[in-house]
Structure 1
Amino acid sequence: MEHKGVLKNIGGYVFYIILAVVFALTFRTYVFARTTVIGPSMQPTFHDKDSVFLEKVSTETGHISRGEIVTFYSKDENNDDYIKRVIGIAGDKVEIKDGKVYLNGQLLSEDYLPKGTITEPNSLITQYVIPKGYVFVLGDNRGNSTDSRILGPINLKDIRGHVILRVYPFNNIRAF
């Protein structure tokens, strides 16, 4: 008789453990995740090995705004995720000329970049019209970034999340 009671208790514990694991995996997949920045392409905003948290609900709904910093699947040979800043959204015209970025005909104010930063087009294409379902992204380290100048517009379906908080290094914690 006691044997059945013990099995019932174990079964109850197993059920709650499975429920907690399913909840945690669902939360990480669709709501919130942590990732590590790799490489210098977002300097000075982020540095190699910075740890950041991503919000994923807006990417699941396809709501991405200009200025947000996103991670996305790069489709490169290593299946890397890249981290970049959204410059243009669907319907926008992005133009790179004279070392500056223009958004819909207006010089883009980029106060997050160091003074004197020059943005080169990196190809023969200097104007981009962003199609529906895509965004145009640039790294903050314009001289060392594989971004939409090379990759073209990024499909919203490839975006993993947008950065909301840097948590490491601890002396540099910041919300975005």
Structure 2
Amino acid sequence: MQVEKKRSPLFSAFLNLLSPGLGFLYLNRIALAIAAIAFMPVVFFLGGRSGWILSPKGFLVVSVVFVGGWLGMAAWAYLIARKQKSIKLGPFQRGYIYIGFTIIVGVSLTLVTAFRGVLFGYDVFRMPSASMEATLLVGDDFISNTQAFSHRVPRRGEVVVFRDPRQSDIKYVQRVIGLPGEKITFRDGRVFANGILVPDSYIEQKNNTGLHQTTSEFEVGTDSYFLLGDNRDNSADSRYWGSIPAKYLYGSVEFIYFSFGEGGVRWERIGRRMKD
């Protein structure tokens, strides 16, 4: 004999906010619980693979859809519980089931998020150092297009994320200066590729005083790139590591979606795109 019991509308809503689908499981709506679990990955998969999330406006739209959907599921659970006087309880309405469900969903979503660069075609990072000032400041959160170099080659001047060839789980962000096969030289704080001056309007003079200038000549390897930080006086880059093989390039940097510094939120930086 199935037990019927009144479900709390507020608790149902709270559970859906706590863990996607948990409120529906509490209401014995298994299909809705499964749909709720799939909601977040589907939204970000569509947003990433379509390229929407790679623009400031598209990022805002995807974020609104995600937050709206999450709140909407909480409201839906509330309305279901409020409308029905009692709900038939099934084998899944047990405390240990709720706990297990929450753990499994949490672990699954964490794993999906960890591999979003491969699954969704984008990734997000927070700038940890001053090596790219003033293009990227410490505390800037930016989004990277991990599909970018699957159908084109990097451009000179493009800001990219790349894996450390010595330790591939570590990623850095720098600017492409030298292209495959070029000879890179430094003179009076300026960079030359095959003897031609590389434009550097993005460099602030205070960050390029010649503290680490070098007169050495670097030859960029085949299918490799010479990368530099915009803060030339405070950047470990291809001057020390050598050129970076293309296979270690992870994605292009698209724009800053959030920024927080010592003075609080830096609103003027939100939505700022990278310049080649």
TM, length-normalised to structure 2: 0.53
CA gap of 1:107–1:61, structure 2 versus 1, over 3 A, is same
Partners in 1 of 2:223 and 2:203 — Cα distance? 27
Cα distance in 2, alignment partners of residues 100 and 60 from structure 1: 31
Q: 2:228 aligns with which of 121, 134, 138?
A: 138
How many angstroms does 1:59 deviate by? 2.5
Query: Greater helix share, 1 or 2?
Result: 2
Partner of 1:14: 34
**Identical amino acids, percent of aligned pairs:** 27
Residue 218 (structure 2) pairs with residue 120 (structure 1):
no
Residue 19 of structure 1: CA displacement?
8.1
Give the 3 Å change call, closer, same or farther, for CA 85–12 of structure 1 in structure 2: same
**Counterpart for residue 58 of structure 1:** 148
Q: Given the alignment of the two structures, is residue 72 of structure 1 paired with residue 154 of structure 2, yes or no? A: no
Distance apart, 1:86 and its partner CA: 0.4
C-alpha distance in structure 2 between counterparts of 1:17 and 1:120, whole Å: 53
Q: Could you say what secondary structure the match of 1:81 adopts?
A: strand
Distance in 1 separating the partners of 2:250 and 2:168:
16
Q: What residue ranges of structure 1 are gaps of 5+ in the alignment?
A: 1-8
CA distance in 2, matches of 1:78, 1:64: 19
Residues 67-109 of structure 1, C-alpha deviations (whole Å, 9 max, x = no match)? 1101111245694311111001112221123332111211222
What do the CA deviations read for 1:97-149 (whole angstroms, capped 9, x no partner)?
3332111211222111123623613xxx7112222221100001111101000
Residue number among 81, 88, 93 corresponding to 2:171 in the alignment: 81
Structure 1 stretches of 4+ moved >4 Å: 22-27, 75-79
Indicate conservation of the 8 Å contact 1:37/1:50, yes or no: yes
Q: Which amino acid aligns with 2:221?
A: P
Give the structure with the higher percent strand: 1
Larger radius of gyration: 2
Corresponding residue for 1:171? 268
How many residue pairs align between the two structures?
168
Letter in 1 for 2:172: Y
Matches within 5 A, 1:151-162: 151-162=241-252
| Secondary structure, aligned partner of 1:175 | coil
Structure 2, unaligned runs of 5 or more = 1-28, 49-115, 260-266
Q: Which residue of 2 aligns with 1:29?
A: 117
